[in-house]
Structure formats: structure tokens, C-alpha cells
Amino acid sequence: MNIAKIASSLVLAFGLCIIRIDGMPSASGHTDARTGIHAAPRLVSWQMLGRTVVDFKVDWNVIRLAGADNFRQLKLSAVDAPIEIVSMDVVYENGGHDDMPVRQVIPRGGESRAIDLRDASRRIQQVSFVYHSVPGSRSRQAKLTLLGTK
């Protein structure tokens, strides 16, 4: 049997991370550019940071975090109605902020993509959103939930 074939088919499992010996990419995960080793994505735990009711009478809203904390990524979920998120402004405890375009329609009961924060070392104080109702939706309000992962 060919050693190269055996080596290319071996998979090393360590904890929650799967590393392929041959460094070939798979459908998910990433390949380390320096070592060429492919690693499966780590499991991500999302926690609820806050919730607000969006009534579509205005086009923006704010979620204030009860205790400022650091997060690497944010995402949004919509309940009761779809909502189009245009942008969000993340305000940090030190007074700085990141205005980020989102441009995504979140379906009723769905979630946005994960949104990477530019500086995960800063503590988030509040997040404001610019949004629109989705044409054709008969709902007059939606619950918007902010989720974060460290």
C-alpha cells in the first residue's frame, strides 16, 4: 500500500479540533498558512446580550448592555417578523465606536450572519441599529435580539 495514500487519508482528532495530516482543505474550517495544517472550526457559544421591540414607526433602535464586556462577534435574531438591518453602530466603554454596514434581511425566526468586530479587546457598552420593515410583511413589530461570542 502506498504510504502517501495512507498519510493523506489519516485524520488526527484532538479534543474538539480535527487536524488533517496532509493539510488538504475540507468544506469547513481553515488551513494555517504557515504550517499547511487544516483545522475544523471550533464550536462557538453565543450568549444573549439584549433584546428590543422594533415597531417600524422609527428606523433605529438601541440595545444597552447591562454589563460592558468584550466580544469577538455579534449577530442578530428576529422574532415575529422579518427585518432588514441596514447598519449597526457598536459603542465601546472607552467612548470609541465602530459603524458597520450589515445590509441583510433577517427572516422571521432567523439570524443574521456573524459580524466580526474590529477590536475584540474593547468592552461593548451599547449597539444601535438602523433598520427597515420588509416589504410585504404585515407584522407591525418584531423582537430583535443581540447575540455575542467571545
62: domain CATH number is 2.60.120.1380
The arithmetic mean of pLDDT across residues 68-77, rounded, is 90
Structural domain harbouring 13: 3-39
Closest CA to 124 of 144, 95, 102, 103: 95
Q: Are 13 and 84 in the same domain?
A: no
Q: Are 70 and 136 in the same domain?
A: yes
Q: Are 83 and 21 in the same domain?
A: no
Q: Are 109 and 58 in the same domain?
A: yes
pLDDT tens digits, one per residue of 88-106:
999 998 888 999 999 999 9
Q: Are 121 and 94 in the same domain?
A: yes
* Confidence label for 8 from pLDDT (cuts 50, 70 and 90): very low
Q: What's the distance, CA 122 to chain centroid?
A: 17
Residue 113: is its pLDDT beyond 90?
A: yes
Total domains, the chain: 2
The arithmetic mean of pLDDT across residues 6-12, rounded, is 38
Report residue 98 as a C-alpha cell.
465602530
Q: Are 60 and 123 in the same domain?
A: yes
Q: Are 10 and 57 in the same domain?
A: no
Output the pTM of the full model: 0.68
Q: Are 86 and 142 in the same domain?
A: yes
pLDDT given at position 42 = 60
- C-alpha torsion sign, points 35, 41, 45, 48: positive
Which of these ranges, 30-44, 107-121, 131-145, has the smallest mean pLDDT? 30-44
pLDDT given at position 69 = 82
Residue 40: is its pLDDT beyond 90?
A: no
Q: Are 57 and 34 in the same domain?
A: no
Q: Are 58 and 119 in the same domain?
A: yes
pLDDT given at position 34 = 66
53: part of which helix (H) or strand (E)? strand 47-54
